[in-house]
Chain A
Amino acid sequence: MPVDLHQAATPRLSLRQLRSPHAGPVSLSLAAGECLALVGASGAGKSVCLRMIADLDPCEGEVLLDGVSRSALRAPDWRSMVVYQPAEPAWWDPTPESHFPPSLRARAQALLPQLKLKPEVWKGDLARLSTGERQRLALVRSLAVAPKVLLLDEPAAALDHETTLALEAVLRTHLDDGMAIILVTHSAEQATRMAQRQVRIVNGQLELPCTPSA
């Protein structure tokens, strides 16, 4: 389906009354290049929200990407454009390299130095890498499929300050290229640095941005 690039009114991602028995209803829109921070207490339903957007959990309501309804797309195609990265990324093969299809490996390897990853981790044993290294590799894995929307759950939880800033810089270059990001974070500083807007989730529902938190 053709998308008119000049039609600035079409948001990159819009959620309309997205809901499941565990969360929602959630309605919001995200422009291309925008980063939205999703904040809230543990267990408030932030991850559940991201999983609904990625179509990993059954839910009702509508989600549109560049004006195209999710139901018009095959689910795997949707998920390769709207990539969800959980807080504890899982690995299914022994080395990082084998998690990438050969066609994506060059692009992925180019990201390693930007994330302060040494070249030898690429063929290393995942079980021997540190949590922080695995977390950055997970971001490499998510970015390699070139999504239009990235749903990040605590992507810097295991990183020191300097590495966190490097990761944010990488995210910023992708935002500049038009990727939209929903960032779940417990760090108020990170939310301020990265996000144009912040939304608080309480009991699976959005608290309106203007409402002061109780």
Chain B
Amino acid sequence: MGAMAHVLAVNPVPARSQMGSSLGFHIILACFGIAFAAICMIAEWIGIKRGDAAALLLARRWSKVMAVLVAVGAVSGTVLSYEMGLLWPGLMGRFGAAIGFPFSMEGIFFFLEAIFVGVYLYGWQRLPPWVHWWSGMPIVVAGILGALSVVAANSWMNSPAGYTLSHGKLTSVDPWSVFFNPSTPYETAHMVLAAYMVTGFVIAGVYAVGLLRGRRDRYHRLGFAIPFTVAGILAPLQVLMGDIIARFIASNQPVKFAAMEYVSKTTRDAPEWIGGILINGHVYFGAAIPAFDSILVGFSPHTRVVGWDSVPAAYRPPLPTLIHLSFDLMVGIGFFLFALAAWQGWWWWFHRRLLLTPWFLVPSAVSGVAAVAAMEAGWVVTEVGRQPWIVYHVLLVSNAVTSASGVPVTLAVILVLYAILTVVSIGVPMNMSRRWRLETPAEEEAEQVPYGPPPPGAWASSAGLSAPPAVPRASSGGPEAQ
């Protein structure tokens, strides 16, 4: 089968692009699925504990936004499941038995998450406050364990373990070792921290804009402070984690590391390049700090850093410039977010109140976008850096890609569809917030969200008690639009 794939010489670039764009889209929604519930629950906790109405209002509204984002994430996650087969049958046919176990676990956690999102969203009114608060806890736990499961599958592709091959055929699997392969703890910790940072900074960014526009009431101050605190506390941890992971990659995937740091030849006193474009083996427009890369890898300028000359050209990752600049972008944003958090922390420590000057709020307003960019850049580093392997040192991408024609078409469809979905996923919460500002409280009752039980009318036994009439029903007149 492998030989056949070679003969056909399928171009994997459209499939790679499709997988990359699907994953890049889904991962943002996944972040909210992992972390949004925890941030809601903190607001709710403050609300119940201190009788703080603003905090409770925030928690309720956030849960509605969460429901929309989790629903879209469920759809884009299904697309990824399909794409494992549609794009990479060579991977699934050979290693599906190994990589399948973590995905199966993820299925369970997603199921739990979907159930409890429904309870959390619709339990506001009638569940006792603390019962309602606890109903959010399974979402938080399932979110983290779900992240662990999916990231474990990706980690396995970076450091495959727990299987035996004979004559190219998988003969035995140790699901436990597959799940907890060497990369799993590093990648999972990095991703869960990233999810909390992305969610925290994005929400904080929204309220920073509100504060900049002069809405400086308690509602907006809390809306900024809660997510910013969560993300801000984790920012230094993430910088530390990133440093540890970089050293792990230097030893575990040295060629990827070489591309990240522009190490062309195995050497001591390796310089640390900041920025720069690689053309014909020369770095242009970059600044090099002598021997600093060696110091970062082994705490001594004499540390030997493996270069990409250690493997034949065919086994080096393509586009080292993209990998290096993505890495720099991620690290740079990581330090920017760290600095932002430290600034607010410093101010809070000495003044015991929030720093809300425009000088602070303007960078805070873009912190969400920056966090998303950093996370995407991180995935570019890990995924492009693994190329040309789909399973590191075991299976080449070109041997895993589908032989079916038509991937360029599905790529185009996915790009158009996800562009629309992106606009709508941003537009719907914005629309919600505009309505929340404008409309009277009574109208908010009629709010519809895609989860949970039917409106109260559905439970009533008589037709007279049916759903609130304030808003025209979605279903009225579907076919007319055709």
A binds B: no
